[in-house]
């Protein structure tokens, strides 16, 4: 009886193996067929894409031939995507690194795709920067509202969108990406990197826009002293100062958003620090830094505004003794005192916000 049961079980096991082996073979054949379909349809799609790109350069996007090629490219792109989805649905052996050669090999699909996308980002960024340079030159020579400048501004905005979409696509494909390796994202060699160049560009932008802002601030201050705050020239200079101040603040925020190395002591040279720290025996580099200059500027502002406030306070106190608190002159002096008191308090708060060294005993010499 036991031998009969064992024989029956062995027969069933052999039958199960015989059923499973054809099923596995069928699945492998199906995966091979689907992989071949994806590769062939992708080649056809890329062929139409190349012909459509050439046609757009030579005949324009809206010619009859280019529109036909665009329809062909979109149709084969949809077929390729559907074949890829079908390949995944069949639970075939799929990794991003082995589209072209499931058995291994040197060049893989993901590596070539990442190289292609990185080249696309770099080339589109160059085109965008070329339009930005042409737009800036046009603004200086013809004015912002000329037809040519408006056309160039539209091109700049369009290429900004293209570059951002290419970057997002690069990240979506799971390519190796770090801000320090935009120009060579697949090789970690040294040299000048994209983030370093970007930080230098943004720091130069902050420095130049800050100098323009300070220039308008100085001219506005001189104008207020000589012509009065409400003259036409002073109002124009005030508008210029405020617009350049907003640009400078936006450039600073952009500098921080890009993850550049930023310390208050190194605005003017955020990349100048050595890669390895100096020995402890060496003294730190000396010289005026941006934070020190900013603290000196804010301290002088507090001192000067405090002197003006105290002057109005003394005049208001004398006026109250001789003319009474509700005389017209005393009320005007009281308004002046309160206004300059509020400005002094705001300057003190700004001084503390900048992280300057502050003690009540050392306002005049922080």
Residue 289: its pLDDT value, please?
54
Instruction: Give the per-residue pLDDT at 4.
Output: 56
> How sure is the predictor about 308, in pLDDT bands with cuts at 50, 70 and 90?
very high
Q: Tell me phi and psi for residue 277, to 5 degrees.
A: -65, 145
Average pLDDT, the chain: 75
Q: Label residue 259 left, alpha or beta by phi (over 0 means left) and psi (-120 to 50 means alpha).
A: left
Are 271 and 196 a contacting pair, CB within 8 Å? yes
pTM above 0.75, yes or no: no
Would the pLDDT of 75 be above 60? Answer: yes
C-beta atoms surrounding 304 within 10 Å: 12
- Cα–Cα–Cα angle for 99, 100, 105, rounded to 5 degrees: 110
pLDDT number for residue 8 = 62
pLDDT number for residue 333:
92
Check residue 130 and give its pLDDT. 92
For the ranges 182-191, 197-206, 327-336, the maximum mean pLDDT occurs at 327-336
pLDDT band for 323, please (50, 70, 90 cuts). Answer: confident
């Amino acid at each position: 009886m036991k031998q009969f049961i064992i024989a029956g079980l062995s027969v069933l096991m052999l039958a199960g193996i015989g059923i499973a082996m054809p099923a596995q073979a069928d699945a492998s054949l199906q995966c091979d067929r689907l992989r071949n379909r994806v590769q062939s349809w992708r080649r056809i799609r890329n062929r139409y894409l190349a012909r459509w790109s050439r046609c757009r350069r030579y005949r324009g996007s809206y010619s009859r031939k280019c529109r036909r090629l665009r329809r062909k490219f979109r149709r084969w792109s949809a077929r390729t995507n559907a074949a890829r989805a079908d390949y995944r649905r069949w639970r075939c052996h799929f990794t991003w690194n082995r589209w072209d050669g499931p058995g291994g090999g040197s060049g893989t699909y993901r590596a070539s795709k990442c190289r292609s996308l990185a080249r696309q980002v770099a080339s589109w960024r160059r085109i965008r920067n070329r339009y930005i340079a042409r737009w800036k030159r046009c603004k200086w020579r013809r004015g912002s509202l000329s037809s040519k400048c408006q056309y160039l501004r539209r091109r700049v905005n369009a290429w900004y969108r293209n570059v951002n979409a290419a970057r997002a696509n690069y990240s979506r494909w799971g390519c190796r990406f770090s801000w320090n390796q935009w120009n060579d994202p697949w090789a970690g060699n040294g040299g000048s990197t994209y983030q370093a160049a970007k930080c230098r560009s943004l720091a130069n932008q902050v420095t130049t826009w800050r100098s323009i802002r300070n220039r308008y601030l100085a001219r506005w201050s001189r104008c207020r002293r000589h012509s009065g705050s409400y003259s036409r020239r002073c109002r124009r200079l005030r508008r210029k100062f405020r617009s350049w101040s907003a640009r400078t603040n936006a450039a600073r925020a952009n500098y921080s958003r890009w993850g550049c190395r930023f310390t208050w002591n190194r605005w003017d040279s955020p990349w100048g620090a050595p890669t390895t720290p100096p020995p402890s025996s060496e003294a730190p580099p000396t010289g005026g830094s941006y934070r020190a200059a900013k603290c000196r500027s804010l301290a002088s502002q507090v001192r000067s505004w405090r002197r003006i406030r105290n002057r109005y306070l003394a005049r208001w106190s004398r006026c109250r003794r001789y003319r009474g608190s509700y005389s017209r002159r005393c009320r005007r002096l009281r308004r002046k005192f309160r206004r300059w008191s509020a400005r002094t308090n705001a300057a003190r708060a700004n001084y503390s916000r900048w992280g300057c060294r502050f003690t009540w005993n050392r306002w005049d010499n922080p």
